[in-house]
Structure 1
Amino acid sequence: MIKQLLGFSVLALLQSQAYASLILSIEDAAVQSSQVNSELRVEDFNRISTSQLDGYRTSFGQYFIDSGKPSIQAAGPWGGAQGIGNYLFVPRSKQSAVSLNFFDPVSYFGFWWSAGDGGNLLRVNTATETLEFTTQAILDSSALVADHFGNPNRTNSNTKEPYAFVNLFASTSQDYIESITFYGSNFETDNHSIAYESVALRGRSLAATNVPEPLSAGLFALACLGLAYKRSHKKQGK
């Protein structure tokens, strides 16, 4: 059943007895919204301003400014799905960070990642652990192709940086996502999408990148998916 959920692209990992609590993939170039075939809820930031961001309640969770000066920006060269509306911007200055706390744990989270760079960072909390990802792994992966570079909504705009829709899938019900934090250097993101029920893996799974040896099973699984991460287990009654 788990193999059917994760799909053929990660069967090798399952057969090696490696375990990954989250599976990450990206969609084809120019795709700017979730392509998951499920009942989705989406936040596109088009109905709020910067002054409303801290504590903003969407249909599936609540956003909080943890530090710095994150803002809601109008669509432009650096962000804004389909070149319209607004997007969330987390600047590099003052170690800015924004958290999204889900009202109920989700099996899937997707987001439009624009003007990407290796300093864009994600912290993902599940019921049992905290995972920290660097999007440099996406830049290093063969899943990212030449057509991903440049703003698809503006001809010849910012051609040195990638634009892609990123998917995160929980591999089991125990790994459902409770919260996500966006931080790092100039993180532009839009079209935050969630699903509560388990969904089939889709998109371009990240290829392996320079896996050092030896590795634990969990670390091997994430490295093979092209994820640079730091894992820490949540405290149990301490």
Structure 2
Amino acid sequence: MFSLRKTVLSAVASAMIAGSAHAAFLVTYEAPGVVNTTTSFDYKGVENFDLRTAANNQSFGTDFGTASDPITITGSYAGVDIYKADLWGGAGNTGNYAVTFTTNGYTLNLSAKDEDDNSVPVTYFGYWLSALDQGNQVKFYRNEIEVFSFNPTDVLTITGGCPNAANPYCGNPVTGENKNEPYVFLNFYDQSGLGFDKIVFSENPTGGGYESDNHTVGYYTSITGNPLEVPEPASLALIGLALVGMGAVRRRAA
């Protein structure tokens, strides 16, 4: 545990020099069809929603499967809809998944503690993002201050547009359905070492749902996957037009 705390203190010191919190985040994406992270961790946990009841507007707590681990990670979900696996969500096309159809969305509050009940940071979040549409927004907070945000335009810069027969990210990787939308596992790394304690998912603008599964949290020790490449402004404009088109064919409302 000493080595972990030493690493954390070093990362915090680096963060103070590094500059803005936004710049401290790195986003990568896994290979097509991968529904869990390939990252390694000092400690981690996963919530796959399979033990939750399929119903709307739920609030519940989770330990991400870490109850008996040296580091216990706890989370509190508020306002989330849980659906049974279908062509739009559910990793591996089984179990349940989380979704929101509203601009208010749902919130995940996070904390982690060691054996001595000392707080330790959560520096990683990853999830399987399915059936991307133009309204999918996710924001990260530390002490109620937004430190990072990620939107559909960012996702399309890494997966490419859909439908595209040559693009392996287009469509449900199990059923082959819904070729109009990308499916991809995303990794978010807070390289500042300070961590984050709240994540907010929202569907803004509304036009479908924000589906995700296999919510993974922890303190990462490696960075894996392909890094996000930020496009030039002209490319962003073209991607935005593509998202508008995707929204026009979106399949359902709340």
Name the residue aligned to 1:116. 132
Q: Secondary structure at the match of 2:168?
A: helix
Amino acid at match of 2:215: H
Decide which of 7, 31, 43 is 1:28's aligned counterpart.
31
Instruction: State whether residues 45 and 190 of structure 1, in contact with CA within 8 Å, keep that contact through their aligned partners in structure 2.
Output: yes
Structure 1 unpaired stretches of 5+: 6-16, 213-222, 224-238
Distance 1:41 1:99 in 2: 18
Percent identical among aligned pairs is 26
Secondary structure of the corresponding residue to residue 136 of structure 1: helix
1:182-210 residue CA offsets vs partner (Å, 9 max, x unmatched):
10141000000011x34221111111211
In the alignment, is the contact (CA less than 8 A) between 2:159 and 2:182 conserved in 1?
no
In 2, the alpha carbon distance for the partners of 1:18 and 1:210 equals: 23
Matched pairs, number: 190
Counterpart of 1:73 in structure 2 is 83
Which runs of structure 1 show a deviation greater than 2 angstroms over 4 or more consecutive aligned residues?
A: 50-55, 126-129, 140-145
- Is the counterpart of residue 178 in structure 1 residue 181 in structure 2? no
CA distance in 2, matches of 1:99, 1:128: 12
Q: After superposition, where does 1:1-238 map in structure 2 within 5 Å?
A: 20-38=23-41, 39-51=43-55, 54-59=58-63, 60-65=74-79, 70-92=80-102, 95-104=103-112, 105-127=121-143, 129-130=145-146, 131-141=148-158, 146-154=167-175, 156-174=176-194, 176-184=195-203, 185=206, 186-195=209-218, 197-211=219-233
> Where in structure 2 are there 5+ consecutive unaligned residues?
1-6, 8-17, 64-73, 113-120, 237-254
Residue 13 (structure 2) aligns with:
none
Q: Is the 8 A contact 2:89 2:97 kept in 1?
A: yes
The answer as to whether partners of 1:143 and 1:207 remain within 8 angstroms in 2 is no
Over 3 Å counting, the alpha-carbon distance change for 1:198 and 1:96 in structure 2 is same
Instruction: Report the TM-score, using the length of structure 1 for normalisation.
Output: 0.72
Greater C-alpha radius of gyration? 2
How far apart are residue 135 of structure 1 and its match?
Answer: 2.2
Q: Tell me the C-alpha RMSD between the 2 structures.
A: 2.7
Q: CA–CA distance in 1 between the matches of 2:144 and 2:108?
A: 17
TM-score for the superposition, normalised by structure 2: 0.67
